[in-house]
Amino acid sequence: MGPHLVWVRAWEGRMMMDSPYHSDVMRGAFAQGFAEGKAEGKAKGKAKAIARSVLLVLQARGIEATDEHRQRIEGCTDQEQLETWLQRAVTAQKADEVFA
């Protein structure tokens, strides 16, 4: 979805919220869905940033991560798990130790 379409969807959503033809229930449901989507997006963004940090720490320490390691790290959305891997990446001698 390009930036223009994102803006259009946001504008449509805003218009839906302001419409006098929609009930309070409809506006409430839309607002709740919007808030949940926003929170989910933030969580995914944070997980992605932590995953990137794990890979950067390994790279900075000269530890090679295989494609399998990268896929596992980048595919993880559990922030707690990623933070554990990040802590291990600081002291690991090999990439496999991050997942031990």
58-86 per-residue burial string, b: 16 or more CB within 10 A, e: under 16: beeeebebeeebeebbeebeeeeebeebb
What are the domain boundaries of the chain?
3-99
| pLDDT above 70 coverage of the chain, percent | 74
Round to whole Å and give the CA distance between 51 and 54. 5
Q: What pLDDT, on the 0 to 100 scale, is given for residue 36?
A: 74
Q: How confident is the model at residue 22 (pLDDT cuts 50, 70, 90)?
A: low
Contacts (Cβ under 8 Å, ≥6 apart) of 90: 57, 61
Rounded to whole angstroms, the Cα distance separating 65 from 58 reads: 7
- Residues 26-66 pLDDT 10s: 667 767 777 777 777 788 899 999 999 999 999 999 999 99
Residue percentage of the chain with pLDDT more than 90: 55
